[in-house]
Chain A
Amino acid sequence: MSVELDVFVGNTTIMDEEVYQLWLDGYTVNDAVKVRMEGGVMDECEASKDVLLSDTMDQYRTFQMCERLLHSPAKLANQLLFQIPPHRQIMLIERYYAFDDTFVREVLGKKLSKGTKKDLDDISAKTSVTLKSCRRQFDNFKRVFKVVEELKGPLVENIRQHFLLSDKLARDYAAIVFFANNRFETGKRKLQYLSFQDFAFCAGQLISNWTVGAVDNMVEDMDVDLDKEFLQELKELKILITDKDLLDQHKSLVCTALRGKTKVFIEMEGSFKNLSRGLINIAAKLTNTKDVRDFFIDLVEKFIEPCRSDRWSAADMKLYLTHYTNSAHILDTFKHQVVWDRYMGVVKSCIFKMYHD
C-alpha cells in the first residue's frame, strides 16, 4: 500500500515561509521534514510525519513551479497560474534573491562563468552551504549581471526595477555586479578578514564616485565601469610624492595638526612618507586593469597593515586621514584639488570600513 499521487492546490497559493527557506537552502524533502519535526510544528496541529511529508512535498512542487517565474520577477505580478497576494510575491522574490554572505564572499570578484560554476562544489564544501543553494545564488548573480549589463541608467535602480528587490538587496547586487565586472581581487589570504558587507560598502563608494555615472547619468554601463578620464587624471597626483618640497610641506602640515592629539604621533610622523607614497602610487597605477583588480589588496598592504603594526586605533586612522586629505588643500603649488577630493573621499571611507580585525 503506497500513496501514488498526492496533491493539494489552493485557489490562493499556500506557501509556508519556513518551508520556502528550507527549499531555498537546498534541503531535500526528507531533510526538510526532519528539520520541521525538530522545529515542533507537529504539535501545532496534531500532525503526523506523513502529514508533514505530504505538506512539504506539495510546497516543494509549488516552489519548483514558481521558480521559472522568479527568474523574471516582473512576470510574477502578471502571470495567471498562481494567485499570490502581493506581499507574498515580494517575500518570495526577496528570499529567492537573498544570498549567504559566506557564499558570496567566495565568488566576489570572480568571473561569473561556467568555469566558476564548476568550482561551486568546492565552495559548497568550504562554506557548508548546500550545492543546490550555491547554484541558485550563483545563477541569480549571473542573471542579474546579464540583465543590467545591457541597460542604461543607474545600476541600483535598474536592479531594483527589474528584479523588484528591496533597496538594500539591490545595492548588494550592484556591488556583486560591480565586483564581477571589474574582477576585483578579494580572495587573497590578506583580504580574508573582510566581510561581504565591507566590500559592498566600498563598492557603493566606488560606484557613486569613481564611475562614469558619477558625472554623466545616461551612459551605458555607467555604473559598472570606472571613469577612464578620472583614472588618467589620478596620475597627476604623483606630484605630491615626487616633488620633495611638496612632500615635506604636506608632512609638516599634517604633523602640526596631529601633534598632541594622538598617542601614536611618533609612529605617524615616522611613517608619513611611506604611507603617502603608498596611497599616491595606488592612485597613479589605476589606469592598468591589473592594478584596478589589486586595489583592495594594495590598500591593505600599503596602508592598513603598516598602520596596524604600529597599533593605530580606528580613531587615529580617522584623524590621520582627515588631516592628510585636508592639508593637501593648503598646499599652494598643488593644483589638483578636485581629483584629490574625488580620490581621497573614496579611499578614506573604504579604509575606515576596512580598518578592523
Chain B
Amino acid sequence: MPGKLKAKIVAGRHLPVMDRASDLTDAFVEVKFGNTTFKTDVCPKSLNPQWNSEWFKFEVDDEDLQDEPLQITVLDHDTYSANDAIGKVYIDIDPLLYSEAASVISGWFPIYDTIHGIRGEINVIVKVELFNDLNRFRQSSCGVKFFCTTCIPQCYRATLVHGFVEELVVNEDPEYQWIDRIRTPRASNEARQRLISLMSGELQRKIGLKVLEMGGNAVVGYLQCFDLEGESGLVVRAIGTACTLDKLSSGSAPNTNTHMHPNTAPASNACNSPSKDGKESPLAHGCRSTHNSPVHSVCSSQRLSQNFSVSVPTLIFTGMGSGGSAGKEAGPLRTLLRQQTQTALEQREFPFFTLTSFPPGFLLHVGGVVSARSVKLLDRIHNPALGNTRSYKLLDWNSVTADEPETRDAWWEEIRQEIKSHARALGCHAVVGYSESTSICEEVCILSASGTAAILNPRYMREGCLDIGCTDHRFEEPSPPNCGFCHIPYDELNMPFPAQLTYCYHCRRQKVPDVLFTTIDLPSEAAVAGKGCLIQARLCRLKKKAQGEANATAISNLLPFMEYELHTQLMNKLKLRSMNALFGLHIQISVGENMLLGLASATGVYLTALPAPGGIQIAGKTPGDLSSEHISSIQKRINDTIAVNKELYQINPPELAEEGVGSPIPEPRHRSRLFRSHSESSDELSELDLSHGKKDAFVLEIDDTDAVEDIHSLLIDAPPPTGFYSCNTENMPGISNWTSGVQMFTSVRVLRLSNANLTNQGLNKIFTDLCENLLKSFYFKLRSMIPCCLCHLNFTVAVPEEELIQVTVTAVAMTYDKEQTQEKTAEKPVNKGSLEAEEQLQFPLELCADSSSSNIQTASKISGVGESTNMSPRAASVDYGSFADRCSTWLELLRLKAHTIRRGSVKTISSLERCSPLQEGRSRSLRSSRSFGGSSVTVVKMTPLSFLPGTRIIKYLGIINMFFIRETTSLREEGGVSGFLHSFIAEVFAMVRAHVAALGGNAVVSYSMKECVFMENPNKNQAQCLINVSGDAVICISETDQESSASTANTGQTGGSETDGAT
C-alpha cells in the first residue's frame, strides 16, 4: 500500500433547487476512488449545506493514484424514488504526487453536470500520504513532473535534456458502445469524461515510466491529444521532451529567466572531452529500441499492408544550406563538435524536441521546417468481444485490443522516420519545436508532424555539463549567438534544393539563407529589426465526396498542392511585409467531406543577419500583353504596401544603422569595412539573381484571372489598427516591455456555406474573410488595452459538417509601454554598434544585467547584448531604454558609464527608473482593488504563454489537463448555439480557475484549448460540445513588489547617482 488518499467534504453553496415543493435540496455526497465509495450524511433542506465530513481514507497503489481521478458526486436524497444526481467534480490528484508541487488540494470546485453545466460549488480538501517504494519493477512513475510549457520552466534549470518521449493508449469510445442504445446520452457522456480522465492518467504514468528509464525527472513541452476516431475507438496520445530539471533555490533567484542568463561558471567544466563518446553517455538509455539505422531514405514508400495508407510527398520549407565556411576559422573544432553531437543524437531513435525555446547556446544552427503528412483509413474492424465491456475501467489491451495501439504506434513511427530523414537531408541531426496532429473525417485520418531541423550543442546532451553559460561557447563556435542559429547547417555544395546564400549580415563570416522558416520561437538572443507580425496563409480546396480508398487517394493527391500554395502565400506575404524569417510556423490541414482547409500561421520578423528581402515583381505572361498598364498598377500597389509595412513594423534597413554608428574602436571598424566589401559583392549577386530569376518565389506571373485574384487576396490582409501588434509565438519580436494588462480569450466562429456550387476561389475568399474578420473583432473588443499585442494567436480550423467551417482561436492580449518601446528603437543603432566592438561589449551588458534587478552578475557576457537589444522578455531593456533620455549619443553613454563606475553604482539608477510613478501607480491600484469588495474568489490569470508579464513564477503546482462534455436538449432556450457554447467555454474557464486556486495557485501558464468539437442538431433542438484544455498551474508573484522594497532601500544612494547622471 504505497499511498493513502484522504478526502474531506466540507460544504456546498449555491446548490440548485432539487425539490420543487420546498424550493430546497437534501444534498449528500459520494466520494469515489477506484472501486471504493464513501458517502456523507444527508444535509436536509439546504442550498448551502455544511457537511463537514470525516476524512474519507483510501488506501491505494501509487499506480492507481496516477491513473484515477477522485470522483465526487453530489446527489439529492429522495426517500421514495432514486436519488437525483446534481453533478460531479473530478479531481486529478497527480499534482499531490510530486514532492515539490502542491501539498494539499483545498477549495471550492464547481459542481458540473453535462446537461445543466455548473450547478453550485462544493468545498473539498484532499491530501495524499505517499510511502516510499523502492520496488524496481514498479509500474508507477510518481514524482516525474509534467510541464506543458515548451521552454525550460522558470525557477528550474535543465541539467540534462534527454529527448523525445511518446506514448499512446487506445480504447473503445463509450459513445459508440452498444450500451449507448439503452442508456441516456448523459450517462454516455459521463462515461466518456470518466474514461478519458482515466486514459490521460494512465498515459501520463506510462510516459513518466519512460522518463525514469531514461534517467530524467521531468517532461517539458508535454502535448497530449485525443483522436476521436468514432467507431474505431478513442486514441489518447502524448509527446514530450524528457529532461532532468534542478530547482533553483528560491532565495537565489529573483531572476525570472535564468535559462536566459545562465551564470558563468568556470570554463573548465565545459565539455572538455570531445573524446567522450556519445555511446557512453546516459542518453543511450532513451532509446526505445535498438533500431539505429544510420540511413533513412527520404521517402519511405513501403507501408503497412494491412491498412490503406498514402504517403504524401512532403515539401521542405526553407532557405537552408551548408556550413561551407565551416573550415574557415574554427573548422576542425567545429567538425569535431558536430560529429560528437551527431553520434550522441544518433543514439536515439528520434532526436526530437517538443521545446520551442532553449537555453542560450543550446541551438547552434537551424535548417528549416520539416513536415510529413500521411493519409490513413481507420479500420472499421469492430471487435465483438468489446461489446460486453460495461464497466468503464480501462480495457486490458494486452488481450482484447492487442493490435490497436500497435497500429497507431506504427503509423506515427512511419511519420517520425520521415521527419527524421528530412532533417538529415537538411544536414541536421535533430528536430526542435516538434509537434504532431491529426484531422479526422469519417474513416479518413490525416496524420501530420512538423518541426524544425536543427543542430544542437552536444553539451546539453551530456551529464553535468549544463552549468556553463555561453562563455566557452565562443571558443568552440565562432558564430555569435545573435546570428549563429541562422547560419546554414550543411554543405553549400550539396544542398537538397536551390537556395540563395549570402554571407551573414551580422558576422560576415558564414553563409545564411535568404529566408528562414521555423516552428520554434525566436531565440532570445537573436538580432531583429523592428517588430514582428502575424502572417497567415489560408486555403480551401474542394474535393469530390467519396468513400474509402478513393477518398483517401483524392485527399493525398490534393495535399502536396495545398502545401505548395500555402508556402507560396506565406513567402509572398512575408516579402510584402519586408521581412525575411518566420517563427512559430504551424500548418494545419483539416479534412471535411467535400473540402480541405489549410491554414498556416507564423510570426514574421526581420532578422538582421539575413539579407533584406527583395520586393515582389509582377510580370505578365507575354511581354506585349495588353494589360501591362494593369500590371504596373498592381506593381505600384504592391510597392506601396511594402513601404507602408516597413514603416508600420519599424523595419529600418540594418545597413543604414551600421553606418550610422561610427564605431569608436578602430580595429572593428577596419574589420567591418572588410566585411562590407563582402556584403557589397553579395548584394550585387542577389541583384543579379533577381533580374534573372523568374523562378524566384517573389516574382509573380500574371497569366490568367486566377493569378490576379491571388494577388488581390494578398493585398486584402489588413494591417492591425494603430496600437495593436500580433504574433503567434511566445515572444513578440521587438516588444519586451510588457505592462501588467493580460487578457486571455477564446473565440469560436462557425460559418455555414449556403451556396451549393462554390468555386475554390470563392471558398478561399470566404475563408480568408472569416479569419480576417475574427482578427478585426479581437482588435475591436480589446481596444481598451491599446497599446497592446495579441500574442500566441493560435488558430484551429475544422470542418465539423459538410458546408460548415469552424475556426477556434485562443490567444492573449498583453499591454506594453509604448513610449519606452520608441526610445528603445531610437537606441538600436547604439546597441548594434556595440556588437561590433568587443571592448565596448561589457558596458551595455552590465547595464542590462544590473538593471534587471537581480543578483545575476554580468554573466551573459555575450548573449546579454543581444538580449538587451531585442528580445529579453522583460524589464532589462526597459531600463536601458530610459537612459536614452539623458544620453543622446553613444559616446555620452560611455562617458556616463565610466563616470558612474567611478562613483559607484549603476544599479541604483536603474532601480530609480523602476520605481517611477507609473509603476507605483500600478501597484497601488492593484492593492486597492484587492481590498475592494472582499471577494472570496482568488483571481486566477490564464495565458497561453510560459510567463506572465511583471511577475515571476515561484512554483509549478502541476499540470492541468481537463476534459469536459456538455450537451443540451433545449438549444433554443439556452440562447441557441452561441449561447450554449458561450456558457460552456465560460464554465470551462471557471473550472480550470477553481482547480488552480484549490492547488494554491494564482495563474495558469502555457494554457491551450486543444480540442473544441462542436456538434449540433437544430431540428431536434440539440447540441453537444467537447472541450479539452491543458496548462501549468503556477504560483507567481509580482516583480514590482520586490522591486519597490529594493528601491526604497536604495533611495539614499539613488539621489546621488541621479545627480551624477545629470552632469
- Residues of A near any B CB (own CB < 8 A): 1-14, 44-48, 50-52, 54-55, 57-58, 61-62, 64-65, 75, 77-83, 85-87, 89-90, 164
Contact = CB atoms under 8 A, between A and B. Distances in A.
B755 A1 contact: yes
Contacts of B743: 10-12, 14
Given A1-B751, A3-B751, 10 more contacts: A1-B754, A3-B749, A5-B978, A7-B982, A8-B777, A45-B776, A51-B780, A80-B108, A80-B990, A85-B929
Nearest to A69: B14
A65 B941 contact: no
8 contacts: A1-B754, A7-B978, A8-B781, A9-B745, A10-B744, A47-B779, A78-B935, A80-B994
A164 B989 CA distance: 26
A5 B746 CA distance: 13
A86 B993 contact: no
Nearest to A81: B990
Contacts of A5: 748-750, 806, 977-978, 981, 1014
Nearest to A14: B781
Nearest to B719: A46
Given A77-B937, A81-B118, A86 B983 contact: no
A55 B745 contact: no
A241 to B, nearest CB: 55
Interface in B748-804: 748-755, 766, 773, 776-783, 804
A7 B981 contact: yes
A12 B982 CA distance: 14
Given A11-B745, A45-B721, A61-B975, A3 B750 contact: yes
Residue from A2, A12, A50, A65 having most chain B Cβ neighbours under 10 A: A12
B512 to A, nearest CB: 37
A2 B752 CA distance: 5
Contacts of B781: 8, 14, 55, 58
Given A10-B743, A87-B932, A64 B975 contact: yes
Contacts of A3: 749-752
Interface in B653-681: none
A54 B987 CA distance: 21
Given A61-B978, A81-B118, A2 B745 contact: no
B601 to A, nearest CB: 19
A46 B718 contact: yes
Contact of B934 (A1, A77, A80): A77
A233 B994 CA distance: 60
Listed from nearest, the 10 A-B pairs whose CB atoms lie closest are A86-B933, A86-B932, A5-B750, A77-B935, A9-B985, A10-B745, A11-B744, A8-B747, A4-B750, A7-B982
Given A61-B975, A80-B937, A44 B783 contact: yes
A326 B983 CA distance: 65
Contacts of A90: 932-933
Contacts of A46: 718, 721, 776, 779
B110 interface: yes
Contacts of B81: none
A296 to B, nearest CB: 38
Contacts of B721: 45-46
Contacts of B108: 80
A55 B935 contact: no
Nearest to B979: A61
Contacts of B937: 77-80, 83
B985 A7 contact: yes
Interface of B: 13-14, 108, 110, 118, 121, 718, 721, 743-755, 766, 773, 776-783, 804, 806, 929, 932-937, 939-942, 975, 977-979, 981-983, 985-987, 989-990, 993-994, 1014
Contact of A86 (B749, B783, B929, B987): B929
A311 to B, nearest CB: 53
Given A12-B743, A61-B975, A51 B933 contact: no
Contacts of B990: 80-83
Nearest to B1018: A4
A76 to B, nearest CB: 9
Contacts of B986: 9, 13, 65, 81-82
Contact of A54 (B777, B806, B993): B777
A79 B983 contact: no
Contact of A77 (B745, B751, B933, B983): B933
Contact of B14 (A9, A13, A79): A79
A2 B751 contact: yes
Contacts of B13: 78
A231 B557 CA distance: 95
Interface of A is mostly: mixed
A86 B931 CA distance: 9
Which of B108, B121, B781 has the most C-beta atoms of chain A within 10 angstroms of its own C-beta? B781
Nearest to B785: A14
A87 B929 CA distance: 7
B755 A45 contact: no
A300 B307 CA distance: 95
B785 to A, nearest CB: 10
Contact of A80 (B776, B929, B993): B993
Given A44-B783, A80-B990, A80-B994, A4 B773 contact: no
A46 B724 CA distance: 12
Contacts of B776: 45-48, 51
B962 to A, nearest CB: 14
A292 to B, nearest CB: 35
- Indicate the member of B766, B780, B1014 with the most A CB atoms within 10 Å: B780
A89 B989 contact: no
Contacts of A87: 929, 932
B989 A7 contact: no
A14 B941 CA distance: 14
Contacts of B780: 44-45, 47, 51-52, 55
Given A78-B937, A86-B932, A2 B748 contact: no
Nearest to B741: A12
Contacts of B766: 1
Contacts of A47: 776, 779-780
A81 B982 contact: no
Contacts of B994: 80
B780 to A, nearest CB: 4
B280 to A, nearest CB: 49
B978 A89 contact: no
A6 B993 contact: no
A74 to B, nearest CB: 10
Contacts of A14: 743, 745, 781-782
Contacts of B804: 4
Nearest to B988: A9
Candidate in A77, A80, A85 with the most chain B CB atoms within 10 angstroms: A80
A7 B748 contact: yes
B929 A7 contact: no
Interface centre among B746, B748, B777, B934 (most CB of A within 10 A): B777
A83 B932 CA distance: 15
Given A5-B1014, A80-B110, A58 B982 contact: yes
Given A3-B749, A80-B990, A89 B939 contact: no
A172 B755 CA distance: 57
A301 B939 CA distance: 59
A80 B120 CA distance: 9
Contact of A83 (B121, B778, B989): B989
A65 B989 CA distance: 15
B118 A80 contact: yes
B758 to A, nearest CB: 9
Contacts of B773: 48, 50-51
B179 to A, nearest CB: 31
A4 B750 CA distance: 5
A12 B782 CA distance: 12
B745 A4 contact: no
Nearest to B940: A83
A83 B746 contact: no
Contacts of A44: 780, 783
A83 B806 CA distance: 26
